[in-house]
Amino acid sequence: MGLKIIGSGSCVPEIVQDNSKFIKSSFYNSDGSKVDLPNSEIIEKFKKITGINERRYANKDLNASDLGFIAAKNAIENANIDPETIDYIILAHNFGDVKYKSDEIDVFPGLAVRIKNLLKIKNPQCVAYDILFGCPGWLEAVIQAKSFIKSGMAKRCLAIGADTLSRVVDEYDRDTMIFADGAGATILEDSGEEGGILSHKTESYTVDELYYLYYGKSNNKNLNNNTRYIKMNGRKVYEFALTTVPNAIKMCIEEAGIKISDVKKILLHQANAKMDAAMGKRLYKLYDMEFDEDIMPLTVKYFGNSSVATIPTMFDLIRRKKLDNHVFNSGDIIIFASVGAGMHINAMVYQY
């Protein structure tokens, strides 16, 4: 029988930062030279490439673990379960808790145990731990949960993705406009029903690709500090995603024994609308078919890239019928796929 998501929750921060907020920013290239374009043109080009109009930032009194707790609490309530029955809490993040206006990353103790504490779970048999897996982290947490349940080590797992990327961005780097905050969570168990997780694939590329995303110093070389920020070679990430993710999805489809025409929704990591559309087209080209963009929901245009939170947040909003005209119907085949720092990719075929 199928391992299914029986509950979902998300935390979409309240602070909306639209593109106009960057009109007075000072942007530098990676070599330290000033970007020789007016900010209005920089912002317009950014919007055209990424599709992002605005992004969400966490309130200053909330950290990543707080966002994860809110999403987890919503998922538990949605599943209508006793939190004491959860066997594993697996939290994906990338930078731990970073307090507002601070450059200090706090991951000790882990964020998963902090969330367990906030949920007031007393059961010591509920094991909580973190994973660092780049943007594909939440999906990898789901895959790990599946392994625990299928092996008999667990009956019910909570998989969470939470990040506050707005607190680790370089204000002098144009890429700062991409990143955002958020959290999403799901409860998984063997439901005894047909469907659920049908197949999955994970790969790690660590030779030439390792530092496509990395932690580096500010583009403003005049700053006298050693603070480091999230950095990205956007072109390399784009090319990498297009050559790896569609193939991983295809392998999952073949392993699941379904047809591409059976797929009703494709939920890709929300990093860049143009890149996601290109991956969709590349996937369908592998089957000599035309890609219909309506099959692929987009939240990046108003939420930005919240890393591990993008897919579970999108999934939760669709389940609750709160995302445009997108809905899930019983029996629908859904594709999940992500790409991110590591460089990691993963994909999963899921029957709703």
pLDDT in tens, 65-97: 999 999 999 999 999 999 999 999 999 999 999
- Render pLDDT for 3-22 as a digit per residue (tens, 0 to 9): 999 999 999 999 999 999 99
Q: Tell me the sheet residues that pair with 91.
A: 130, 160
The alpha carbons of the chain give a radius of gyration, in whole angstroms, of: 20
Task: Give me the pLDDT at residue 104, please.
Answer: 86
Q: Are 99 and 170 in contact (CB under 8 A)?
A: no
Neighbours of 350 (CB within 10 A): 26
Task: Give me the pLDDT at residue 1, please.
Answer: 59
At the fourth CATH level, the homologous superfamily of domain 197-351 is: Thiolase/Chalcone synthase (3.40.47.10)
pLDDT at 255 over 70: yes
Task: Give me the pLDDT at residue 130, please.
Answer: 98
- Render pLDDT for 206-251 as a digit per residue (tens, 0 to 9): 999 999 999 999 999 888 778 899 999 989 999 999 999 999 999 9
Q: Are 89 and 160 in contact (CB under 8 A)?
A: yes
Tell me the average pLDDT across 302-310. 96
CA dist 42 and 107 (Å) reads: 35
Structural fold of domain 3-194? Peroxisomal Thiolase; Chain A, domain 1 (3.40.47)
- Render pLDDT for 103-147 as a digit per residue (tens, 0 to 9): 889 999 999 999 999 999 999 999 999 999 999 999 999 999 999
Task: Give me the pLDDT at residue 193, please.
Answer: 82
pLDDT at 191 over 90: no
Task: Give me the pLDDT at residue 28, please.
Answer: 93
Q: Over the range 173-198, which residues count as b (16 or more CB within 10 Å of their CB) and which as e?
A: bbbbbbbbbbbbbbbbbbeeeebbbb
Task: Give me the pLDDT at residue 114, please.
Answer: 98
Tell me the average pLDDT across 53-58. 96
pLDDT at 203 over 80: yes
pTM: 0.94
Q: What percent of the chain clears pLDDT 70, i.e. is strictly above it?
A: 100
Q: For residue 60, what pLDDT band results from cuts at 50, 70 and 90?
A: very high
Topology agreement, domain 3-194 and domain 197-351: yes
Q: Please state the domain extents for the chain.
A: 3-194, 197-351
Contacts for 120-125 with beta carbons within 8 Å, 24 or more apart?
Answer: 120/83, 121/83, 121/84, 121/86, 121/89, 122/84, 123/84, 123/86, 125/87
CA dist 341 and 230 (Å) reads: 10
